[in-house]
Amino acid sequence: MNPLEFIQQARWFAERRGYKSSWAYVIFRERYGAWPGKLLKEGDPQEPSPEFVEWVLAYWRSNSVNRKVKP
């Protein structure tokens, strides 16, 4: 999956799940190490591919171990 496809799928995912629009920026930076810049405005949001969903789930799983639960 190229960066444009990733950001378009992230935008679709964020819109459908009711996330803030900044979620797509943040998740893109986590994957590619840079902000999406003008890519964010290119094309329309696309339904996520299985590859995208797998990556997001793996990212959430790896970060859930690092989160501290407040009592």
DSSP states of 12-62: HHHHHHT--THHHHHHHHHHHSS--GGGGGSS---PPPHHHHHHHHHHHHH
> For 68, what's the count of Cα atoms within 13 Å in the CB-facing half-sphere?
2
pTM score: 0.83
Residue range 18-38, pLDDT digits in tens: 999 899 999 999 999 999 999
pLDDT at 55: 95
pLDDT at 66: 57
Average pLDDT, integer, range 59-69? 72
- Given a cut of 80, whether residue 44 has pLDDT beyond it is yes
**Please, which pLDDT band fits residue 5 given cuts at 50, 70 and 90?**
very high
